[in-house]
Copies of this chain bind each other. A is one copy, B any other.
Amino acid sequence: MRKGRNVIRNKHNDICEVRTVDKRRVAAVRKGMLTGEEAGRLSETFSVLADPTRTRIIHALSQAELCVCDISAVIGVSVSAISHQLRVLRNMRLVKFRKESKMVYYSLDDGHIETLFNEGLKHVRE
């Protein structure tokens, strides 16, 4: 049985437009809810894989350690664009690199992201 509608107030103490329909259910779900910070970090993690260039970089590096220009050749995107994306991946500590004279070799530095990638691939391939 559904409870009556209730007007609630937000933190600014304004009249809140939101009306809850099922107070009990809302309270229960809200209790188990992600914190704003958790939701933020979670979506940030998924954002890394939300770009086709980055997914392809990660996929390529899951197969072999590669230098920047070889990643560029494999994926068919300019060296500059790859370098920019590698910086994103570096900042998130998802790849590591090794310098050998002029060359810079990149490889994956996070097992989780590979798991996530493969889980996503499974979903796409049904």
Which A residues fall within an 8 A CB radius of B? 8, 10, 17-22, 25-26, 28-30, 32-34, 36, 38-43, 45-47, 49-52, 54-56, 59-60, 63-64, 66-67, 69-70, 72-76, 78-79, 103, 112-113, 115-117, 119-125
Which B residues are CB-close (under 8 A) to A120? 42, 45-46, 116
Cβ distance A64 to chain B, nearest Cβ, rounded Å: 5
Q: Determine which of B25, B38, B69 lies in contact with A66 in the assembled complex, contact meaning CB atoms within 8 Å.
A: B25
Instruction: Tell me whether B21 and A67 are in contact (CB under 8 A).
Output: yes
A70 pairs with B119, CB closer than 8 A = no
- By a CB distance below 8 angstroms, the chain B residues around A41 are 124
| Interface contact A69-B21, CB-CB below 8 Å | yes
Contact in complex: B20, A69 (CB < 8 Å): yes
**Beyond A70-B22, A70-B26, is A43–B39 a contact (Cβ under 8 Å)?**
no
